[in-house]
Structure 1
Amino acid sequence: MTGALTDAKLTVERPFALEIDEVGDALGVSRAGLSADEAAERLGAAGPNVLPEPERIPGWRRFLGHFNDTLIYILLGAAAIKAVMGDWLDFSVIMAVAVINAIIGYVQEGRAEKALAGIRGMLSSEAGVLRDGAWATITAADVVPGDVVRLMPGDKVPADLRLTDAVQLRIDESALTGESVPSSKDTAPVAMDAGVGDRTSMAFSGTIVSAGQARGIVTGTGVHTEIGKIQTLVGGAGSLDTPLTKQLDTFGKVLTLVILGMAVVMLLIGRYLHGMPFADLISATIGFAVAAIPEGLPALVTITLAIGVQQMARRNAIVRKLPAVEALGSVTTVCSDKTGTLTKNEMTVRRIITPVAQYEVTGLGYDPEGAITAADGAAPGGDVAALLAVGTLCNDAHVVREADGAWTLVGEPTEGALKVVAIKGGASEAGMVRRGVVPFDSANKFMATLNESGEGARAILVKGAPDRLLERSLTQRSAAGAEPLDHAFWTAAIDELSGQGLRVLAAARKPTRADDVAIGDLIDLEFLGLWGILDPPRPEAIEAIADCHRAGIRVKMITGDHAGTALSISREMGLVPDGDVRVLTGTELEELTQEQLKTVVPEVDVYARTSPEHKIRIVRALQSRDEVVAMTGDGVNDAPALTRADIGIAMGIKGTEATKEAAEIVLADDNFATIRSAIREGRRIYDNLRKSVVFLLPTNGAQSLVILVAIVFGITLPLTPVQVLWVNMITAVTLSLALAYEPAERGIMDRPPRKAGGSIINLRELGFVLIVSLLIGGATLAVFGLALGAGHELAVARTEAVAMLALGQLAYLFNCRFMGRSSITVDVLRGNQVVWWSALALLVLQMLYTYVPWFNGLFDSRPLSFTAWLVPLAFSIVIFLAVEVLKAVRRRIGFAGRS
Structure 2
Amino acid sequence: MNEPEILSATPHAVAADSVLRQLASRSEGLGHEEIAARRQQYGANRLPTQAPPNWAQRFLRQFRDPLIYVLLAAFVVTLLLGHLLDSAVILAVLLINALIGTLQEGKAENALAAIRKILRLQAKVRRAGEWQNVDAEKLVPGDIVQLRSGDRVPADLRILSAQGLRVDESLLTGESLPSDKSPVPVEADAALGDRHSMLYAGTFVQAGRAVAVVTAIAAQTELGKIQGLLQETNTLQTPLIRQMQRFSKTLALLVLVLSTVMAGIGLARQLLPPFEVFLAVISFAVAAIPEGLPAILSITLAIGVERMARRQVIARHLHAIETLGAVTVICTDKTGTLTRNEMFARGLRTHASWYEASGTGYAPQGELAGAEAGDKARFAALEVASVANDTQLRQEGGNWQIIGEPTEGALRALSAKAGFPGEGYRRLASIPFESAHKLMAVLTERPDGQRRILLKGAPDRVLARCGSMLDADGSSLPIDIPFWERENQYLASQGLRVLALARRDVDGQQQESLDLDSLGQNFTLLALVGIVDPPRPEAITAISDCRRAGIQVKMITGDHAGTALAIAREMGLVAGGESQVLTGTELDRIAPDDLPAVALRTQVFARTSPEHKLRLVEALQTRGQVVAMTGDGVNDAPALKRADVGIAMGARGSEAAKEAADLVLVDDNFASIARAVAEGRAIYDNLRKAILFILPTNGAQGLVLLAAIIAGLQLPLTPLQILWVNLVIAVTLALALAFEPAEPAIMERPPRNPAESFLDWRFLLRVALVSVSIGGATMATFYAELSAGMPAELARSMAVTTLVLSQALYLFNVRHLQGSAWRRSTLFSNPIAWIALGVLLLLQLALLYLPPLQRVFQTVPLQPRHWGLALLIAVAVFFLVELEKRLLRKVA
Q: TM-score under structure 1 normalisation?
A: 0.97
Residue 104 of structure 1 deviates from its aligned partner by: 2.5
Aligned match of 1:708: 706
d(CA) in 1 for partners of 2:389 and 2:35?
Answer: 43
Aligned match of 1:459: 452
User: Which of residues 436, 440, 443 in structure 2 aligns to 1:447?
Assistant: 440
User: Which of residues 804, 812, 815 in structure 2 aligns to 1:817?
Assistant: 815
- Listed one character per residue, the Cα deviations across residues 194-239 of structure 1 (whole Å, up to 9, x for unaligned) are 1100101101111111122211111011111111111111111111
Relative to structure 2, which stretch is displaced further, 672-681 or 817-826? 817-826
- Listed one character per residue, the Cα deviations across residues 505-556 of structure 1 (whole Å, up to 9, x for unaligned) are 1111000132222222331101111111111111111111110001011000
For the pair 1:506 / 2:503, whether they are aligned, the reply is no
Letter in 1 for 2:780: A
d(CA) in 1 for partners of 2:826 and 2:549?
Answer: 26
d(CA) in 2 for partners of 1:398 and 1:176?
Answer: 28
Aligned match of 1:639: 637
Letter in 1 for 2:116: R
For the pair 1:41 / 2:34, whether they are aligned, the reply is no
Aligned match of 1:410: 403
d(CA) in 2 for partners of 1:110 and 1:750?
Answer: 36
d(CA) in 1 for partners of 2:773 and 2:74?
Answer: 25
- Listed one character per residue, the Cα deviations across residues 702-753 of structure 1 (whole Å, up to 9, x for unaligned) are 1111112212322211112221111111111111000000000001000011
Aligned match of 1:897: none
For the pair 1:384 / 2:378, whether they are aligned, the reply is yes
Letter in 1 for 2:686: N
d(CA) in 2 for partners of 1:29 and 1:380?
Answer: 62
For the pair 1:552 / 2:582, whether they are aligned, the reply is no
Q: Is the 8 A contact 1:329 1:753 kept in 2?
A: yes
Aligned match of 2:566: 568
d(CA) in 2 for partners of 1:389 and 1:122?
Answer: 42
Aligned match of 2:483: 489
Q: Is the 8 A contact 1:71 1:248 kept in 2?
A: no
Q: Is the 8 A contact 2:303 2:738 kept in 1?
A: yes
Aligned match of 1:627: 625
- Listed one character per residue, the Cα deviations across residues 335-364 of structure 1 (whole Å, up to 9, x for unaligned) are 001111111111111132111111222222
d(CA) in 1 for partners of 2:418 and 2:47?
Answer: 50
Residue 629 of structure 1 deviates from its aligned partner by: 0.5
d(CA) in 2 for partners of 1:65 and 1:444?
Answer: 60
Residue 844 of structure 1 deviates from its aligned partner by: 1.1
Letter in 1 for 2:231: G
For the pair 1:57 / 2:50, whether they are aligned, the reply is no
d(CA) in 1 for partners of 2:418 and 2:112?
Answer: 47
Q: Is the 8 A contact 2:289 2:698 kept in 1?
A: yes
Counterparts in 2 of 1:425-824, with a 5 A limit?
Answer: 425-480=418-473, 481-512=475-506, 513=508, 514-519=511-516, 520-824=518-822
Secondary structure in 2 matching 1:877: helix
Q: Is the 8 A contact 1:850 1:862 kept in 2?
A: yes
Residue 70 of structure 1 deviates from its aligned partner by: 3.4
Secondary structure in 2 matching 1:785: helix
Secondary structure in 2 matching 1:674: helix
Residue 105 of structure 1 deviates from its aligned partner by: 2.9
User: Which of residues 866, 886, 889 in structure 2 aligns to 1:888?
Assistant: 886
User: Which of residues 246, 249, 254 in structure 1 aligns to 2:242?
Assistant: 246
* Aligned CA distance change for structure 1 residues 75 and 363 (closer, same or farther; 3 Å): farther
Residue 434 of structure 1 deviates from its aligned partner by: 0.5
* Aligned CA distance change for structure 1 residues 55 and 380 (closer, same or farther; 3 Å): farther
Q: TM-score under structure 2 normalisation?
A: 0.97
Q: Is the 8 A contact 1:619 1:641 kept in 2?
A: yes
Relative to structure 2, which stretch is displaced further, 243-252 or 704-713? 704-713
For the pair 1:198 / 2:194, whether they are aligned, the reply is yes
Aligned match of 1:343: 339
Residue 379 of structure 1 deviates from its aligned partner by: 3.8
d(CA) in 2 for partners of 1:77 and 1:274?
Answer: 25
d(CA) in 2 for partners of 1:828 and 1:373?
Answer: 51
Question: Where does structure 2 lack aligned partners over 5 or more consecutive residues?
Answer: none
Q: Is the 8 A contact 1:122 1:206 kept in 2?
A: yes
Question: Where does structure 1 lack aligned partners over 5 or more consecutive residues?
Answer: 895-899
d(CA) in 1 for partners of 2:106 and 2:334?
Answer: 26
Relative to structure 2, which stretch is displaced further, 690-699 or 518-527? 518-527
d(CA) in 2 for partners of 1:880 and 1:379?
Answer: 74
Relative to structure 2, which stretch is displaced further, 791-800 or 262-271? 262-271
Residue 12 of structure 1 deviates from its aligned partner by: 4.0
Q: Is the 8 A contact 2:119 2:137 kept in 1?
A: no
d(CA) in 2 for partners of 1:655 and 1:110?
Answer: 20
Residue 33 of structure 1 deviates from its aligned partner by: 1.5
Q: Is the 8 A contact 1:340 1:634 kept in 2?
A: no
d(CA) in 2 for partners of 1:340 and 1:66?
Answer: 38
For the pair 1:32 / 2:28, whether they are aligned, the reply is yes
Q: Is the 8 A contact 2:58 2:105 kept in 1?
A: no
Q: Is the 8 A contact 1:788 1:794 kept in 2?
A: yes
Q: Is the 8 A contact 1:185 1:202 kept in 2?
A: yes
Secondary structure in 2 matching 1:536: coil
Q: Is the 8 A contact 2:315 2:662 kept in 1?
A: yes
Aligned match of 1:272: 268
Q: Is the 8 A contact 2:633 2:657 kept in 1?
A: yes
Secondary structure in 2 matching 1:121: helix
Secondary structure in 1 matching 2:845: helix
Q: Is the 8 A contact 1:251 1:760 kept in 2?
A: no
Aligned match of 2:111: 115
d(CA) in 2 for partners of 1:711 and 1:211?
Answer: 82
Secondary structure in 1 matching 2:683: helix
For the pair 1:88 / 2:84, whether they are aligned, the reply is yes
- Listed one character per residue, the Cα deviations across residues 636-674 of structure 1 (whole Å, up to 9, x for unaligned) are 111111011011101111111111111110111111111
Secondary structure in 2 matching 1:552: coil
Secondary structure in 1 matching 2:745: coil
d(CA) in 2 for partners of 1:364 and 1:78?
Answer: 64
d(CA) in 2 for partners of 1:630 and 1:73?
Answer: 33
User: Which of residues 314, 317, 321 in structure 1 aligns to 2:310?
Assistant: 314
Aligned match of 1:255: 251
Aligned match of 1:169: 165
d(CA) in 2 for partners of 1:621 and 1:860?
Answer: 60
d(CA) in 2 for partners of 1:360 and 1:503?
Answer: 15
Relative to structure 2, which stretch is displaced further, 251-260 or 787-796? 787-796
Relative to structure 2, which stretch is displaced further, 708-717 or 500-509? 708-717
Q: Is the 8 A contact 1:33 1:131 kept in 2?
A: yes
Q: Is the 8 A contact 2:67 2:289 kept in 1?
A: no
Aligned match of 2:841: 843
d(CA) in 1 for partners of 2:583 and 2:756?
Answer: 36
Residue 273 of structure 1 deviates from its aligned partner by: 4.8
Residue 275 of structure 1 deviates from its aligned partner by: 5.1
User: Which of residues 10, 21, 40 in structure 1 aligns to 2:17?
Assistant: 21
Q: Is the 8 A contact 1:237 1:644 kept in 2?
A: yes
- Listed one character per residue, the Cα deviations across residues 169-214 of structure 1 (whole Å, up to 9, x for unaligned) are 1111112111111111111211111110010110111111112221
Q: CA RMSD in A?
A: 1.5
For the pair 1:220 / 2:216, whether they are aligned, the reply is yes
Q: Is the 8 A contact 1:110 1:321 kept in 2?
A: no
> Structure 1 stretches (4+) deviating beyond 6 angstroms?
none
Residue 454 of structure 1 deviates from its aligned partner by: 2.2
Relative to structure 2, which stretch is displaced further, 481-490 or 343-352? 343-352
Equivalenced residue count is 887
d(CA) in 2 for partners of 1:66 and 1:388?
Answer: 65
Secondary structure in 2 matching 1:283: helix
